[in-house]
Amino acid sequence: MLLKTLFPWVEKERQAYAARLDEHGRKATDYALKHFLDVLEWFRTVILQDAAVLFSKYPKCALWTHAPFNMPEFEAFAMSSIRILEQVEEEARRKLERLPETVATSMCGVVEAMEVRQNQDRNNLNTKLDYVQSLLLHQLGSRKGWASAPKSTGMCLLSSCFWSLNSIDSIVQIVYPSRPSSPVAPQSQYLVPASSPSQESISPVALSPPPDTPSPWPDAQSPHPTALSISTVAVGSELAKWPQDLHGLHSSFGTLSDCSHERTCQIDAIRLLKAKFGNRTQQHQYEWVKHGSWKLSDEWLPIYSLQSIGSLSLLEIWEEWTSGLNGCISVRELEENWAARWRRDVSGQKTEMSQ
């Protein structure tokens, strides 16, 4: 009722506009009038709400002597609106007062949870480090003649101990036994000198595991373990960088990077090539090429020489292009995956392709 006391002619104008539309059709359409009447109806609500707030602050204002503000209905509406606003403001004030306490409690809980987790991780790490230390002490103490060995022998021993652990993955695998990583071949364990009263030089041999650890060597209980050759240790140390499922591709790709990030990129790229080309991947040798450009990522580049046109039949030329000769990747796939990069700007390769 109070709404219609403001701009009371709005309803009559709407009815008149509707009648003109019925009589003249679309020619009588007046969007400006329609939207103007909509705005006036919106103003009704705004004016009454604001007037109710102002009525409590300025009760002696002359505006309240005019209709509809001098009506009993408006005074009752103003009083009820003031009570509702006071309740809302009081509730907001209480929530605001409790906000710092709530936030502080939440932050304390987060900090305490993080601290507990860090303590657990620290304890686990200390336990594993103690295990590694006790393992080394056990192995070093079990060798005869260690106490009487010269200082130079100790330096050689330390060099041998860390020689086979030249990759970060091997060290992490020892400190975190439960962490999945590249499998380490038995040859990549720590090395210690084979002590013997008749020996003055140091011969690197593999550490035997502690008494409660299953041994991977059949003759681990032998008092004189067999010495490992330097070439065997080098191969085992390199294979330690490789995942178990990719050991068969080691001969095709060669040595992986010592940088853990770059090695991860190399292994991911090898997995993609294996998934895409299958067993044909092993028929090539690859070179890790660093392009040094943001447009082109570092990649494994296959090595392949095109067969001479004169030595192939027309069918073999087509087979080399479509499916590949002798189990190799086809030339078409080389072009699709590496464009002209696989030819390495070799003039002979370009000549064969142009023919």
Q: Helix or strand or coil: residue 133?
A: helix
* Phi, psi (degrees; rounded to nearest 5) at 53: -70, -45
Give the chain's length.
355
| Over residues 176-184, mean pLDDT | 44
Query: Measured between alpha carbons, how far is 257 from 238 in angstroms, rounded to an integer?
Result: 10
Q: What is the distance, to the nearest Å, from the Cα of residue 297 to the centroid of all Cα atoms in its chain?
A: 18
Query: Measured between alpha carbons, how far is 180 from 244 in angstroms, rounded to an integer?
Result: 11
* pLDDT tens, position by position, 193-238: 444 444 444 344 444 444 444 444 444 444 444 444 444 545 557 7
* pLDDT tens, position by position, 90-140: 888 887 777 776 676 777 778 888 888 898 898 889 888 888 888 788 777
Q: Which residue in 24, 10, 13, 86 sits closest to 52, CA to CA?
A: 86
- The answer to which of 102-106, 270-274, 279-283 has the lowest mean pLDDT is 102-106
| pLDDT given at position 98 | 74
Percent of all residues in the chain with a pLDDT value above 90, rounded to a whole number: 15
- Reported as a pLDDT band with limits 50, 70 and 90, residue 347 is low
175 contact partners, CB below 8 Å, separation of at least 6? 125, 128, 129, 132
Q: What is the DSSP letter of 296?
A: B
Query: Measured between alpha carbons, how far is 266 from 264 in angstroms, rounded to an integer?
Result: 5
| pLDDT given at position 340 | 86
- Pick the most confident of 10-19, 54-63, 109-118: 10-19
pTM of the model: 0.34
| pLDDT given at position 352 | 56
Q: Contact 163/230 with Cβ under 8 angstroms?
A: no
Q: How would DSSP label each residue in 32-94?
A: HHHHHHHHHHHHHHHHHHHHHHHHHH-TT-GGGGSTTTTSHHHHHHHHHHHHHHHHHHHHHHH
Q: State the chain's mean pLDDT as an integer.
A: 74
